[in-house]
Amino acid sequence: ATMEMAREIIPDSSWQVLDVGSGIGGPSRSLALEFGCRVTGIDLSAEYCQVAGLLARRLGLENLVSYVNGNALRMPFEDGSFDLLWTQHMAMNIADKDSLYREMRRVLKPGGRLAIYDVLQGEGGQVCFPVPWAREPANSFLTTPQQMRSTLECAGFEILTWRDVTETGRSWFRHLGEKIRTEGPSPLGIHLLLGPDFKVMAQNQVRNLEENRIVLIEAIARRAG
């Protein structure tokens, strides 16, 4: 998902990029390696930021990638600081999406891009928990595609592209499930972060996708004005 969206935008090496909800830094490292742009990651988890920084140093990316422990609703950056904002699998954990997208617009330069890959509410019923982003419903704040589009536009974004990539996600999780069944989990992977619930989370993710309880969306928007 990272490279597919990035190749639509083609970040310039001079760009300042912000990865909102950067986790342990996979997308930020990929963007820095592929395009040579300067990437800052921000995440609410100090532990994730520490791990992301360690991995960046091991890859020799410490001059291109850095991480800040902070809140996406109150980011410690000046207005108009970034050419591109990047976010993957993050908004599902934030209830106040109006404030989230307004804050993203604030730190983005006029005309700058916002790239989103996110899980949204499908039409197939309530989500089966636990899932990778939440162990229980109280920590999950999914919005529908229509609600997300409206929220982005009200926050001052013009939607440039919007793609439903649910089927791609279904295929990926089917493959992951089969690999885990036949080979076991890989030595390094997301299961190390999610703990012993990972197996049931992955199974529920497949079920939620198969039954259209969730959908996956890739969107690129531009800051208007």
Q: How confident is the model at residue 142 (pLDDT cuts 50, 70, 90)?
A: very high
Q: Which amino acid is at 67?
A: Y
Taking the domain 2-166+213-223, which CATH number applies?
A: 3.40.50.150
pLDDT(192) > 70:
no
Residue 170, phi then psi, degrees to nearest 5: -60, -45
Q: Give the DSSP letter of residue 67.
A: E
pLDDT(145) > 80:
yes
| Closest alpha carbon to 56 in 78, 74, 71, 40 | 40
In this structure, the strands spanning 108-121 and 38-43 are unpaired
pLDDT of res. 150: 98
Q: What percent helix, strand, coil does the chain show, rounded to 5?
A: 45, 25, 30
User: Interhelix angle for 166-183 vs 198-210, to 10°?
Assistant: 140
pLDDT(195) > 70:
no
> What is the chain's mean pLDDT, rounded?
92
Paired strand residues for 87: 116
pLDDT(187) > 80:
no
Which is higher by pLDDT, 7 or 225?
7
Q: Which amino acid is at 188?
A: L
Lookup: tokens for 147: 């609600």
Tell whether pTM > 0.85: yes
Residue pair 67/42 in contact by the 8 Å Cβ criterion:
yes
Task: Compute the average pLDDT of residues 147-172.
Answer: 95
pLDDT tens digit string along 51-89? 999 999 999 999 999 999 999 999 999 999 999 999 999
Which is higher by pLDDT, 156 or 196?
156
Q: What is the dihedral of CA 173, 193, 197, 100, to 10 degrees?
A: -70
pLDDT of res. 185: 65
* Distance (Å, whole) CA 123 – CA 91: 19
Per-domain residue ranges for the chain?
Answer: 2-166+213-223
pLDDT(22) > 70:
yes
pLDDT(177) > 80:
no
pLDDT(139) > 60:
yes
Query: Residue 45's CB: how many other CB atoms inside 10 A?
Result: 15
pLDDT(203) > 70:
yes
pLDDT(186) > 80:
no
The label of the residue with tokens 């229509």 reads 146
**Total residue count of the chain as it appears in this document:** 225
pLDDT(188) > 60:
no
Q: How confident is the model at residue 178 (pLDDT cuts 50, 70, 90)?
A: confident
Task: Give first-to-last CA distance, the chain, whole Å.
Answer: 28
Q: What percent of the chain has pLDDT over 90?
A: 80
Q: What is the dihedral of CA 205, 46, 14, 109, to 10 degrees?
A: 80
The label of the residue with tokens 């926050």 reads 155
